[in-house]
Structure 1
Amino acid sequence: MYLLLQLVAIVLAFISHKHEAIAQYVPPYTSIVVPITKHTDAAKPLYSIQIMTSFVNMQYLHANFLIDIDAPLIWHDCILQWNIYPGSCPNNTLCTSPVSCNEYQCTDVRTTYSYENPSCPPVTNSSTLPGWGDCTCPVNAVNPVTGACDQVLLNYDEFTVNTSNGKNVFTGLYGAYPNAACAPSSSFASFPANVSGVMAFSSSPYALPAYLFQPLKKTLALCLPSNSSTRGVLFFGSGPYYLLPNSDVDLRSQLSYTPLLKQSDSFGYFIGIKDIIVKQIYCNILPSNTTTKLSTTEPYTTLRTDIYKRVVKAFSVATIGIPRASPVVPFGLCFKSLTRGPQGGLKFPEIDFSLENGKNWTVSVANSMKQITEDVTCLAFVDGGVTPEHAIVIGTFQFEDNFLQFDLENSTFGFSSSLLNKQTSCSNFNFTLTDGN
């Protein structure tokens, strides 16, 4: 009996030690990381990330997805196939498993998380897959390039990305298994070349962040590149985050923070802007705390007409000595360059977004002035009309070479203002693969 008790004690001690070792294990990564590419070959500048989509013939296939922080659902070029097995999927095609119209995800997405507007056709349960005999689940998605409604088929998907400690990219991989949707190749005709999907990073339960679990913290960090020849970086995880050449400086130390706001009819992200300031000239926007949308698909900051006029007036006063040029669509205020080169050597003022918690987000000249030709530079803010859906929408030109952090757990938005003023840029992350052990 004594020997039996000793044996039991040894086994329990072993189990306890094993559980303790598992509990103490800390993975070498703090985030996942993917490169960002800027595209200028569509109707407007857009930004994509590259994701590993499936493992075929001992290697991963890759696909490029537009970054959309507003979309409620991931959708991309793929086909549904029942009983997927090796060799059954057509060449150069991504096959995924279907969600049936009888499953709860179908009803959930249709009634709560898919787009509903007059351009969207009604969804039905009439379609089936050969050899399956059950109905598929069509849902609606809006094309971020054209604004048209596409009908897509809900699926069970799989995405794979690299892990990182914020400074290095590891060979170790992280898998996510979302409910996404398949669309025909024709749906992406308006997209940039080689981009065949929309990756949703919104607060929707069907966006990618909802499928990224421990040890990752619910934090999205974006750093958009300012040209198409270099790569920016997207992290999902708590950080730290480093850019060369300042590889000992955690970018979190460079951030100011303001609350992230929610709107009941949107899964996107919003902040509160109290005023817009141009060289100490206050524009006195109304209301005095305007809910402002953040967008990764709108190219320039768009202002309601009354706000736009106040900003243009203030900017005109602050640049009284700089000769004007004829406006270039979509911009309303343009300037003649006195010398050749970026901004023609002219001294333009910075613009401050005065935020609701007393912080200022400074929009540098690199993010406020768009070089149109060697001789013409325009204020990169756009008149959004008298009654737009949102009074202010901050677009991607104002994001470029700024480090932005969306803390989805604590509902805060971190912003660095221009990294160019800190002698680095969004194109300075080291994507060299290393062993994370």
Structure 2
Amino acid sequence: MFSLTQIFVIVLAFNTYYQHDQVVAQGPSAVAPITKHINTAKPLFSVQITSTDFMENESSDSNFLIDIDAPLVFHDCSENWKPYPVPCDEYQCEDVQATYSSKSSQCRPLSKNPILPGWGYCGCPVNVINPVTGSCDRGQLNYDYFLLTASDQGRNPTTSIYHSNPTGLCAPSASFQSYPKDVTGVMTLSSSPYALPADLSSYNMFKKITALCLPSNSSAPGVFLYGAGPYYLLPNSSADIRSYLAYTPLLKRPGSFGYFISVSSIVIKKRSIDIPANATAKLTTTEPYTTLRTDIYNPLVRRFSMVTKRLQPAKPVAPFSLCFSAASTANNTTKSGLKVPDIELNLQGGKKWAISTANSMKQVTKDVACLAFVDGGATSDPAIVIGTFQFEDNFVVFDLENSTFGFSSSLLSKKTSCSNFNFTNSDYPY
């Protein structure tokens, strides 16, 4: 016979098991602000990290485009950077050229180790696909050195600094002409051994866990955290954000350092849209809207149209095909005044990622809002690419310790947002 205390403990353990399907570790983390840029052809997100001259130890804050797919850090090699090139006879050169340099047909063949002016030794040219333009750009492999601020148990930035020196590419300024203002490079947060997370994890204190919280507007920063956590957002400074997360396995895809998950079906108002068994979903930080292969996109649009018959239709606005008349709320041009049913992604392991109105309806003009999903065509591969609009104000975690992807669904339902990290350190003037 169980006592009341024993019954309480059993019930508590049962609830904890089903609410949190992954045991999360505690540990130190690094932190940096994330900015949303809307002054470009498509919204993009950057992280602010201090770059340091390898030779003269001079540092400055730099904004890097966030890319969770790229194999290498990639930055503007301007006069202010003072590069320190990797020689052609170093092991990193052979490794990067063989495995991480782009083999795309649009790339020019690598030149044979030219002698670098002013250095007196041969350099290490590498090709990389520019995530903004899609072009193949040429860079010089470089010894880079970055500084990241520590967080106070996931609550605030502190004065402590973590050093990191992933090998990256130093490229001409012309490669970044289409980038947002003041963004001078690409910071890769992929699973590549030359990405920032791999270098940070070389410090034994860090767990291989990257957390991103993308802001929904450009006026206040979101947050990048690296390490096990905990993580906190205002106004409820006692609630560890990890308690909101569900987890699904991360999938590997040959030839890619990006992150993939399995989506078994899409559910809208209790009606399921089946997904082909061989379909995988790629997670991206460089494309704004979720793209679906045509055989998935068309059923989703038909179902969404049926459950929103009460709404007044509007003429479609490219790249969207389903739009409604809607006035924007509180002068916010990104969130519509509409309320529509959630779009639920059923994921491997039985988890559900609920995409609410804030992440499904895009206010494209003052009076028109559109379903923020795009037809990727009949041969789109991967079949699903989940874009940044669906990430905004969602806390997501790429956990390479456990090969899992953690997600919160919209934080707005928890009365907080990605812009609520407490950047109180004087180094961050937000």
TM-score (structure 1 length as normaliser): 0.87
Partner SS for 2:420: coil
Q: Give the conservation status (yes or no) of the 8 Å contact 1:344–1:374.
A: no
Cα deviation per residue 1:193-214 (whole Å; 9 max; x = unaligned)?
0001000111111111111122
Residues 103, 306 of structure 1: alpha-carbon distance in 2 compared, 3 angstrom cutoff: same
Q: Give the conservation status (yes or no) of the 8 Å contact 2:148–2:161.
A: yes
Residues 277, 132 of structure 1: alpha-carbon distance in 2 compared, 3 angstrom cutoff: same
Does residue 134 of structure 1 match 2:121?
Answer: yes
Q: Give the conservation status (yes or no) of the 8 Å contact 1:169–1:434.
A: no
| Larger Rg, first or second structure (1 or 2) | 1
Does residue 217 of structure 1 match 2:216?
Answer: no
Cα deviation per residue 1:10-50 (whole Å; 9 max; x = unaligned)?
xxxxxxxxxxxxxxxxxx97100000000011121100011
Q: Counterpart in 1 of 2:264?
A: 274
Does residue 335 of structure 1 match 2:333?
Answer: no
Shift of 1:344: 5.6
**Whole-angstrom CA distance in 2 between matches of 1:227 and 1:37:** 8
Shift of 1:100: 1.2
Q: Counterpart in 2 of 1:176?
A: 164
Q: Give the conservation status (yes or no) of the 8 Å contact 2:273–2:300.
A: yes
**Whole-angstrom CA distance in 2 between matches of 1:57 and 1:107:** 27
Equivalent of 1:150, from 112, 115, 137? 137
Q: Give the conservation status (yes or no) of the 8 Å contact 1:168–1:434.
A: no
**Whole-angstrom CA distance in 1 between matches of 2:329 and 2:77:** 47
**Whole-angstrom CA distance in 2 between matches of 1:254 and 1:338:** 31
Q: Counterpart in 2 of 1:21?
A: none
Does residue 42 of structure 1 match 2:40?
Answer: yes
**Whole-angstrom CA distance in 1 between matches of 2:49 and 2:184:** 11
Partner SS for 1:354: strand
Shift of 1:149: 0.5
The residue identity in structure 2 corresponding to 1:403 is F
Partner SS for 1:95: coil
Residues 146, 338 of structure 1: alpha-carbon distance in 2 compared, 3 angstrom cutoff: closer
Does residue 203 of structure 1 match 2:197?
Answer: no
Identity across the alignment (%): 58
Shift of 1:411: 0.3
Structure 1 unmatched runs, 5+: 1-27, 80-89
Shift of 1:96: 2.3
**Match runs of 1:97-112 below 5 Å:** 97-112=84-99
Partner SS for 1:98: coil
Equivalent of 1:376, from 368, 376, 379? 368
**Match runs of 1:19-418 below 5 Å:** 30-54=28-52, 60-78=59-77, 93-164=80-151, 165-212=153-200, 213-287=203-277, 290-337=279-326, 345-418=337-410
Shift of 1:62: 1.4
Q: Give the conservation status (yes or no) of the 8 Å contact 1:276–1:284.
A: yes
Shift of 1:284: 1.5
**Whole-angstrom CA distance in 2 between matches of 1:267 and 1:183:** 21
The residue identity in structure 2 corresponding to 1:130 is P
Equivalenced residue count is 395
Residues 346, 132 of structure 1: alpha-carbon distance in 2 compared, 3 angstrom cutoff: closer
Q: Give the conservation status (yes or no) of the 8 Å contact 1:171–1:434.
A: no
Structure 2 unmatched runs, 5+: 1-25
**Whole-angstrom CA distance in 2 between matches of 1:292 and 1:412:** 14
Shift of 1:127: 2.2
The residue identity in structure 1 corresponding to 2:291 is T
TM-score (structure 2 length as normaliser): 0.88
